[in-house]
């Protein structure tokens, strides 16, 4: 696991860190973004588009978490509700039933696993609160606080890290990127996404979330055509001008298969294309990567960092 900064007063962190940006993922620590940092995806759902049904028991989820940490993950992202296009909504109580026992098991584990930073992937404040109380550090909200405004206030209350993502539609009415017949975003996707993320980050800061606690996610694959996703990748530099770290989250998504394989594909076929998007994002300035395949992405990103003379 990459070195993190834990258990200290983080009031002035970000100053004196060799000018590297940081993500204050909780009151207990920060992630210094001086190199590629990989967040392992852990969905305890029956219907997620790639790993649905693989981690339904606490034992299976724990084993997957342990493997990702042993492979070098800097963080885990734990979700109890699928956000794939067409997914049915899951109640807050059911999400809590799925994620809290896994959190508790990880926090009781011996060795490095117990201390791994964990984000809760949810749009519901009740789920986020239960997760934070059980030992999670951050909240990953694909609705950027638009579905449940209390979630942003909750992040401020706990001093939690907060990922704000752009999406066009909620999962039940969304489509896969390569299924859209017309662009779901009129005009340039880059301008619309940048404006939305600027507004939501301002709202979070106004609610008391520390600036260094925020990460922005352009929402690749969420209500964008294949070409609009590519436009957002090409526009990474413009999105970074908003002044916050960005999250790269292209892993195994349908548009990746469409451009890398040129056809309909299954998630497990999209590893090489996913790595290509991650390396491109790294070259454009992103340092946070949410992925399914931790070891493969870390190897590729470390090589890219060495070539680009970053700090591998």
d(CA 20, CA 16) in angstroms, rounded, equals: 9
Return the sign of the alpha-carbon dihedral for residues 7, 8, 12, 15: negative
Per the DSSP assignment, residues forming a β-bridge with 77 are: 41, 119
DSSP state of 15: S
Map 200-219 to HEC letters: HHHHHHHCCCCHHHEEEECC
Catalytic-role residue among 84, 129, 258, 290: 290
Active-site choice (98, 253, 270, 287): 253
Region for 225 from its dihedrals, namely left if φ exceeds 0, alpha if ψ lies in -120 to 50, beta otherwise: beta
108 as an active site residue: the answer is no
Closest CA to 222 of 193, 261, 187: 193
Question: Cα separation of 244 and 303, whole Å?
Answer: 25
Catalytic status, residue 290: yes
Across the beta sheet with 118-121, what order do the strands follow? 214-217, 161-165, 138-141, 118-121, 75-79, 37-43, 288-291, 247-248
Among all residues, which ones are annotated catalytic? 253, 290
């Amino acid at each position: 696991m990459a070195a993190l900064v834990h258990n200290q007063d983080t009031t002035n962190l970000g100053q004196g860190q060799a000018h590297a940006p940081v993500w204050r993922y909780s009151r207990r620590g920060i992630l210094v973004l001086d190199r590629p940092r990989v967040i392992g995806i852990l969905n305890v759902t029956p219907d997620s588009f790639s790993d649905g049904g693989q981690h339904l028991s606490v034992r299976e989820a724990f084993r997957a978490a342990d493997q990702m940490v042993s492979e070098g993950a800097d963080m885990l992202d734990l979700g109890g509700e699928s956000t794939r296009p067409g997914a049915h909504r899951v109640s807050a109580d059911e999400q809590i039933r799925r994620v809290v026992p896994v959190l508790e098991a990880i926090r009781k584990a011996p060795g490095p696993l117990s201390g791994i930073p964990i984000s809760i992937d949810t749009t519901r404040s009740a789920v986020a609160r239960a997760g934070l109380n059980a030992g999670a550090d951050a909240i990953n909200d694909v609705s950027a606080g638009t579905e449940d405004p209390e979630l942003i206030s909750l992040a401020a209350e706990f001093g939690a890290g907060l990922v704000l993502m752009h999406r066009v539609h909620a999962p039940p009415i969304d489509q896969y990127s390569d299924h859209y017949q017309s662009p779901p975003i009129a005009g340039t996707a880059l301008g619309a996404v940048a404006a939305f993320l600027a507004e939501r980050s301002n709202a979070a800061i106004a609610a008391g979330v520390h600036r260094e606690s925020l990460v922005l996610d352009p929402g690749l694959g969420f209500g964008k055509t294949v070409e609009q996703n590519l436009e957002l990748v090409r526009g990474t530099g413009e999105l970074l001008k908003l002044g916050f770290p960005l999250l790269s989250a292209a892993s195994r998504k349908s548009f990746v298969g469409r451009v890398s394989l040129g056809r309909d594909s299954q998630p497990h076929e999209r590893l090489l294309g996913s790595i290509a998007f991650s390396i491109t994002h790294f070259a454009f300035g992103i340092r946070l990567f949410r992925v399914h395949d931790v070891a493969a992405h870390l190897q590729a990103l470390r090589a890219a960092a060495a070539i680009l003379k970053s700090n591998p």
